[in-house]
Amino acid sequence: MARALEGLRVIECGVAGAAAYAGKLLADLGADVVKVEGPQGDPDRSLGPFPGGEPHPEKSGIFLYLNCNKQGISLDLGHAKGKDVLDRLLADADVLITDYPLSQSEALGLDYERLAAANPRLVMASISPFGQTGPYRDYHAYDITTSSAGGWTWLNGWPGHPEMPPMKPFGRQTAYQAGVNAAVATMGALFWRLRSGKGQHIDVSAQECITAILEMTFAFWPYMQTPTARWGQRPIQPIDFFQCKDGGWIFVLCVEEQQWKSLVDLMGNPEWAEWEVFANRLVRAANWDALKPMIQEWVSEWNTDDLYRAAQEKRIPFAPASTVADLVSSPHLKARGFFMEIAHPAAGRLTHPGAPYKLSRTPWEIRSPAPALGQHNESILCGRLGLSTSELASLREDGVVSP
């Protein structure tokens, strides 16, 4: 088998981007993913970004990015005949991934007990903002809601500016995290199924996916009864941004003492670097207000890229605050073939982030662009399920399948 997940039949049924990212991770390693959209299409089709800012259901950037390599059908799951088609698809599927809110997934019949009675080998991953149980299970949530409930936005702000609000990081990060967690758990369940023959149900909480990755900040409560600061815990220094001569920003970072020694050397061994108040990473953090201006003065003499290279030359882990333009033209990323040009019939050729990992025997790959709404209705309903063309026509007439 040339692909790690070749032959794996996945049904993805969602509205919040998390199921779509889980589906993408599986599809890009070879799984056969059928994306089930409602008659109006995945809500991601209306989020953009759009070329020229003009909304168009086939040109939404987030949709195009998350749905390469998938086949798409459009099905009204509010209609009994729509539910029946989905049941037939699930009867011989390996995996169902869904992120409908709980109230909706119950109404749509996406109930594990019922589905498993027909297909005991089914692995079903239900992603939701707060999980399937507990007092908040029915809460309404978007990315900013779970990012706050999970503890992330509280940490996200500017050091020394507690008057500024907590903030959401760029992108729908709770959807990405819930998606990758669901994909990890699904692979664990699929491995167990190879040995046991049995499927199972997985409950993924987006809130918990965020609380599980808050660096050292959570532990400050149980270990030291210290509440976390909104601008993040910085127990060591330097670990901060500085502006360079050319206006670019460099991230100055020394984790290990050896790296600080190398930085002092790169700075030309100024006398102040020997002061006791900067003797180790913990006291440098305690005296950061004094140290920061001295580093800033030195950084100001450099252009961003020169300083980045000079630091890395000495194995100090500096990094530039890359713009998107910097990244798509990076010689290193080019040499690794990271970015992919993907042609889409409606949206044209666009540059996507590519493989997050390179598997030596079973490569990550893009086989097809994101599907148009209902593009694979006929091939899936007639080809896979064996409906006749007149049965499909009658489903279309009833508005169950569109177009």
Partner 1 sequence: MSAASGPLTGIRVADFTWVWAGPSSTLQLAHMGAAVIRMESMRRVCVLRMLPPWLGGQPSLNRSGYFNQYNQGKRSILLDLSKPEGAQIAKRIVAVSDLAAENFAGGVIDRLGLGYEELRKVKPDIVMISMSGYGRTGPESSYVSYGPAQVPLSGMSSLSGYAGWPPMHVGMSYGDPNAGLHAAFALLAALYHRERTGEGQYIDMSQWESTMAVLGEGFLEYSMNGAQPPRNGSRVPYMAPHGIFRCAVAQTGEGLPDDRWVSIACGSDDEWRSLCRVMGQPELADDSRFRSIADRKANEDELEGIVEAWTSTLDPFEVKDRLQAAGVAAFPPLMNRELAEDPHLNARGFFVEKEHPEVGVRKHPGIPWRMSETPCEVWRAAPVMGQDNEYVFGELLGMSSDQIADLVAREVIR
Q: Which is nearer to partner 1, 217 or 368 (CB)?
A: 217
Residue 70 in contact with residue 37, Cβ under 8 Å? no
Rounded to whole angstroms, the Cα distance separating 50 from 95 reads: 31
**Tokens encoding 141:** 């949530």
Q: Which is nearer to partner 1, 35 or 168 (CB)?
A: 168
Contact with partner 1 (CB under 8 A) among 122, 149, 380, 392? 149
Contact with partner 1 (CB under 8 A) among 29, 75, 122, 295? 29
CB under 8 A: which stretch of 181-189, 265-273, 291-299, 381-389 binds partner 1?
Answer: 181-189
Contact with partner 1 (CB under 8 A) among 160, 188, 399, 403? 188
Cβ atoms within 10 Å of 334's Cβ, excluding its own:
11
Contact with partner 1 (CB under 8 A) among 119, 243, 287, 368? 243
Of the candidates 339, 336, 335, the residue with the CA atom closest to the CA atom of residue 352 = 339
Residue 14 in contact with residue 98, Cβ under 8 Å? yes
| Residue 401 lies near partner 1 (rule: CB under 8 A) | no
| Residue 132 lies near partner 1 (rule: CB under 8 A) | yes
Burial pattern 265-280, b for ≥16 Cβ within 10 A else e, equals ebeeeeeebeeeebee
Rounded to whole angstroms, the Cα distance separating 200 from 120 reads: 8
Residue 128 in contact with residue 206, Cβ under 8 Å? yes
| Residue 343 lies near partner 1 (rule: CB under 8 A) | no
| Residue 48 lies near partner 1 (rule: CB under 8 A) | yes
What are the distances in angstroms from CA 8 to CA 23, 27, 184, 362? 12, 9, 15, 14
| Residue 169 lies near partner 1 (rule: CB under 8 A) | yes
Binders of partner 1: how many residues, by CB under 8 A?
Answer: 156
| Residue 354 lies near partner 1 (rule: CB under 8 A) | yes
| Residue 241 lies near partner 1 (rule: CB under 8 A) | yes
Rounded to whole angstroms, the Cα distance separating 14 from 16 reads: 6
What are the distances in angstroms from CA 373 to CA 23, 78, 133, 179, 382? 17, 18, 33, 22, 17
Phi-psi region of 134 (alpha: psi -120 to 50; beta: other; left: phi over 0): left
| Residue 345 lies near partner 1 (rule: CB under 8 A) | no
Q: Which is nearer to partner 1, 251 or 298 (CB)?
A: 251
Q: Which is nearer to partner 1, 22 or 400 (CB)?
A: 22
Of the candidates 241, 245, 213, 214, the residue with the CA atom closest to the CA atom of residue 230 = 214
Site for partner 1 in 68-127 (CB under 8 A): 112, 125
| Residue 316 lies near partner 1 (rule: CB under 8 A) | yes
CB of 64 to partner 1, least distance (A): 6
Terminal-residue alpha carbon distance, the chain:
35
CB of 163 to partner 1, least distance (A): 8
Q: What is the DSSP string of 4-30?
A: TTTT-EEEEE-SSSHHHHHHHHHHHTT
Site for partner 1 in 51-70 (CB under 8 A): 51-53, 59, 61-62, 64-66
Rounded to whole angstroms, the Cα distance separating 180 from 270 reads: 46
CB of 399 to partner 1, least distance (A): 22
Contact with partner 1 (CB under 8 A) among 40, 49, 272, 303? 49
| Residue 350 lies near partner 1 (rule: CB under 8 A) | yes
CB of 340 to partner 1, least distance (A): 10
CB under 8 A: which stretch of 83-91, 183-191, 372-380, 381-389 binds partner 1?
Answer: 183-191
